[in-house]
Amino acid sequence: MAEESYPDDLLYHPEHDWARIEGEEATFGITWYAQDALGEVVFYEPPEVGTRVSKDRPYSEVESVKAVSEVYAPLSGEIVAVNEKLAEAPETINEDPYGEGWLVRVKLADPSEAEALMDAEAYRRMLSE
């Protein structure tokens, strides 16, 4: 499993989801804290490409043996790509939550929503409280 980390180049949502913004698109995933709380991920079914996601609303679920966790969209937009690899190897979410374990890629509806998200330091602070 991955070591605990919260990369500085990401933005964070209080429901333990991250966003990597690249121009008009962003990639979403769940943080190290989230995958650690879940335990070994055994199943992830991504939403369909074309689905609209809304900031602060859940858009899919991640399952471990004994728990199911909703995944929240840090920002609003339309899904343009999903991580197909997770169907065969859902444990990638545990092994590499910020890299190979990405969940969806979204075309942003309103990039200014990013202002409401936390940076890595603020997220780490939230976790320690």
Candidates 1, 37, 49, 65; binder of another protein (CB under 8 A) is 65
The answer to whether residue 22 forms part of the interface with another protein (CB under 8 A) is no
Candidates 1, 37, 68, 116; binder of another protein (CB under 8 A) is 68
Question: CA neighbours within 13 Å on the CB side: how many for 100?
Answer: 13
- Of residues 65 and 116, the one with the C-beta less far from another protein: 65
Candidates 27, 31, 35, 64; binder of another protein (CB under 8 A) is 64
The answer to whether residue 91 forms part of the interface with another protein (CB under 8 A) is yes
Candidates 1, 4, 5, 39; binder of another protein (CB under 8 A) is 39
- Of residues 25 and 63, the one with the C-beta less far from another protein: 63
Q: Which of 9, 5, 43 is nearest to 127 (CA)?
A: 5
How far from 14 is each of 11, 64, 72, 73, 82, CA to CA, in Å? 10, 21, 9, 11, 22
Candidates 66, 112, 115, 128; binder of another protein (CB under 8 A) is 66
- Of residues 40 and 121, the one with the C-beta less far from another protein: 40
The answer to whether residue 87 forms part of the interface with another protein (CB under 8 A) is no
Beta bridge partners of 28: 19, 104
What is the binding site for another protein (CB under 8 A)? 39-40, 42-43, 63-68, 90-91
